Structure 1
Amino acid sequence: MSVARLLTEDSNLEPKRARIEAPLVLGFSADDKIRTIQLYDDALVITLRIEGYDVKRVLVDQGSTVEIMYPDLYKGLNLKLEDLTTYDSPLVSFEGKTVNPRGQIRLPIQTSSDVVEVDFIMVNAYSPYTAIVARPWLHALEVVSSTLHQKVKYPSNGQVIEIVGNQSMARQCMVAAILHRPNAESLASVERNL
C-alpha cells in the first residue's frame, strides 16, 4: 500500500475526541418535592432489603452513629440470641433513657445492586420503627438524604439512585410513639407517687 493511500485513508477518519465524564451531582431541587405532602415535618422512613427481606419502617437518622435493630425485626429475621456478639456500650434512647443493648450482629443491606454490610445493635426497647440506619450505612454508600424532599440519593455505577421515603408510614410511626409515651409517663408518675 502506498504512503499516499495511507494518508488519504487516515484523513477520512474523524479525529478522536476525549471523553469527558461529568461528575455525578447529588442534590435536591424543587422537582424532588413533587408527590410529597407539604407542609410537613415528617421523619424520613424508608423500606430497605435487610438479610434478604424487604423491611418497612426503617428510620434514616443522620445524627446517629450506630445502626439499631428492634425486637420485631430481630424476630422477623428468625435470628437467635446466640447469633449476637457482645456489645457493651450503653445507648441513649429518643426519650433520653439509657438502654443496654442485647448485642450486635452484622447483616447485609441491599439497595438496587449495591450491598453494604453493617453492624446492627439489637436493643430490647419499644420503637415504632423496625430499625434505624445511621452514618455508617450512609457513609458507606455515600448517601445524601433529605427529610424535606423525603428521599435518599447515592451514586452507583455512574448514575444516581433514589430511595423515596414513605410519609404515611412516618406519620403512623409518630402516632404510635405518641400513643406509647403516655403509658410510660403515667407508669412513671404512679411509681413516683408510691
Structure 2
Amino acid sequence: MSVARLPVEVDDRESKRAKGMASPILRFSDEDKVGTIQPHDDALVITLRIRGYNVKRVLVDQGSAVEVMYPDLYKGLKLRPEDLTAYDSPLVSFEGKIVISKGPIRLPIQTGSDIVEVDFIMVDTYSPYTAIVARLWLHALGAVSSILHQRVKYPSEGQVKEVIGDQAMARQCMVSAISRRPSIEPSTSTENGL
C-alpha cells in the first residue's frame, strides 16, 4: 500500500492581509529531507544564539509548554541566583519525576535577524541538552518545526528562513541520556536464560 505524502502548510495570509502585509507560506516537502539521514527517529536538536552566545544542543519540543534551561547553559551564560525570579511551580521531567525549578529568567533568542525574548525556567538537574525551546518560542517567532525534515521554518522579511537540525548532535545527546540511566535489574525469566 502506498501513502501519498502531502506538504505541511501553515497559511497565515488572511491575518497578514488584515495588517496589510503578505507573509510567505511555510511548508515542508521531500526536498527538505535532502541532507538528512532517512529514515530516522532523531529529536530536533539545533544551535541558537541566546543572550549573544551560540548555544548548541538545544532541543525543539513543540509538546512542551515551557522553555527550560539546564545547568550547563546557566553557568555558560554566567548567570547568578539573583538573576532568577521567584517561582514555585514544580515541573515533571521526562522520567515522570517532579523537578523543582530554581526560577525563571527572560533571555533574548536571536534567529537570523529576528530576536524574541523568552522566559526560561532554570532547573538544576542533568540533561544532555543545554536548553529546551517549546511552543512559546515557536509561536513568538511564527515558526513551524518538522522533526521528520529536521528543520524549523519561520517567516522573516517577506521570506521563509530556516534553522536546520543537527542529527549527529541529537544522536550524541541520546547516547548520553541512555548511558546515564540507572541499570535495570534483570527479571526472573532473564536470569534463567529464557
Greater Rg over alpha carbons, structure: 1
- In 2, Cα distance between the equivalents of 1:86 and 1:104? 7
Identity %: 73
Partner of 2:155: 155
Segments of 5+ residues of structure 1 without an aligned counterpart are: 1-20, 187-194
Give the corresponding residue for 1:127: 127
Q: Tell me the distance in 1 between the aligned counterparts of 2:81 and 2:22.
A: 48
Question: Aligned-pair distance for 1:39?
Answer: 1.2
- Partner residue, 1:179: 179
Q: 1:22 to 1:122 in 2, by over 3 A?
A: closer
* TM-score, with length taken from structure 1: 0.83
RMSD after superposition:
1.3
Q: Distance in 1 between matches of 2:100 and 2:22?
A: 47
Partner in structure 1 of residue 146 of structure 2: 146
Matched, 1:118 2:118: yes
The offset of 1:87, in angstroms, is 1.3
**What per-residue deviation string (whole Å, max 9, x for no partner) do you get for residues 30-55 of structure 1?**
00000000111000000000000000
| Structure 1 residue runs of 4 or more that deviate by more than 3 Å after TM superposition | none
1:18-97 matches, cutoff 5 A: 23-97=23-97
Deviation at 1:182, TM superposition (A): 2.3
Q: Report Cα offsets for 1:58-111 as digits up to 9, x if no partner.
A: 000000011000000000000001110011110000010000000110000000
Richer in helix (by share): 1
Deviation at 1:23, TM superposition (A): 4.3
- Seen in structure 2, the aligned counterparts of structure 1 residues 22 and 106 have a Cα distance that, compared at 3 Å, is closer
Normalised by the length of structure 2, the TM-score is 0.83
Q: Letter of the 2:175 partner, please give it.
A: V
